[in-house]
Amino acid sequence: MTATVTSMAGKSTARYRTMTWVWRAVAVLFAAVTVFPVYWMVQSAFEPNSEITSLTPSFFPLHFTLHDFVDAIDHTAGVGTAYFWDDARNSLFVVGTAVIVTLVFSFMAAAAISRFRLVGTTAFLVMILVVQMVPGTAMLIPVYLLLNGLHLTDTYLGLILAYSASTLPFTVWALKGFVRGVPIELEEAAMVDGASRLGAFFRILLPLVLPGLISSGIFAFITAWNDFVVANVFMTENFRQTLPVWLYSFSTNTGTDYGGLMAGCTIMSLPVVIFFLIVQRRIVSGLTAGAVTG
């Protein structure tokens, strides 16, 4: 009995080992395919144009150059391409403000939902779920009509409102989970020591959910930073647009300047990649927690 078990185990261990090597090879291949587009972006961004428009692409930049970045930032050839600095500033301002608005609003809502037995909380949460299911592009028409009627198109306020509203459902849902993770006793202790209810929220709860605020904030930042379609519809003036719109007009106006384009992509992606590396772990664990426990 013992003999058969061990011999079976021995056989399957050998097979297991070979299979492990097969899986490792598959993993390496998968990693290479996954990272290749990113690698290609960076390498094209540092390549002179002569190498980019060569019929046999080289896999490393033979002559390292920063010329593509200058090209991307100072490009003046076509309409709407010379606005890199304007659009970068707009992106930072609009997205930054939207993130702050979203975070403040959703922290308050999450605290209220988690710490009080508020009438209609279930309805509010169902509404948030349903709203999240409505595709963003479908909301584009009515939101445009609404803001157009209020003369808020071509204003930063309109864009800020649109981004805050579109990220709010997720941040409320996520922050609710984070607030729940903080023991209520800590706030009770503060209140025993004389803090008000609101004071306990801002002095005790707020610092403790800071990690949650940071990761939800970065989620909101990435969503708004990546948006092209809303900014493209709402903002008609070149100097009021955002970086994705700039990238788009750059790509349609310059056509084949792929060096400059890849430099532009690199600049645009950099803040997102940095933020992403910071929070990636939290986004996943936060969502799985929500899926399993509600």
Partner 1 sequence: MAAPTLPNLAPTRTQRLVPTPPSEVRHNQTKGNWRRTARRQLLPLLLVLPALGLLGFMTLYPLGRLIATSFQNLGAFQLIQHKVQWNGLANYRSLFTSTELGTSVLQTFVFVTACVGLTMTIGTGVALLLRRIGNVLRIVVSVCMVLAWAMPTSASSVIWTWLFEQEYGVANDLLTQLGFHFTDHNWFGSEISAYSIIVANIVWGAVPFVAFMMYSSFTLVPRDLYEAAAIDGASPAATFRGVTMPIVRPIFVLMTVLSIIWDANVFNQVWYLTEGNAQMLNVIPLGVWQYIEAFSNNEYGLGAAVAVITILLLLAVTGYYIRIMVRTGQVKAAART
Residue 84 or 225: which CB sits closer to partner 1? 225
**Smallest distance from partner 1 to CB 238, Å:** 16
Neighbours of 198 (CB within 10 A): 10
Q: Report the alpha-carbon distance of residue 70 to residue 75 in Å, rounded.
A: 8
Token readout for 32 is: 């290479």
Q: Is the dihedral of CA 153, 156, 157, 163 positive or negative?
A: positive
- Residue 115, Cβ density class (10 Å: 0-12 exposed, 13-18 middle, ≥19 buried): middle
Whether the Cβ atoms of residue 244 and residue 231 lie closer than 8 Å to each other:
yes
Distance of closest approach, residue 74 Cβ to partner 1, in angstroms: 19
Indicate the residue among 65 and 251 with the shorter CB distance to partner 1: 251
Q: Are the beta carbons of 180 and 115 closer than 8 angstroms? A: no
Least Å from the CB of residue 163 to partner 1: 10
Which is closer to partner 1, CB of 35 or CB of 79? 35
Nearer to partner 1, 82 or 225 (CB): 225
Kindly tell me which of 24 and 70 has the beta carbon lying closer to partner 1.
24
* Backbone φ and ψ of 211, nearest 5°: -55, -40
In whole angstroms, the minimum distance from the beta carbon of 33 to partner 1 comes to 8
Three-state secondary-structure class, residue 48:
coil
Least distance to partner 1, CB of residue 175, Å:
10
As given in the structure block, the two tokens for residue 103 are: 């975070």
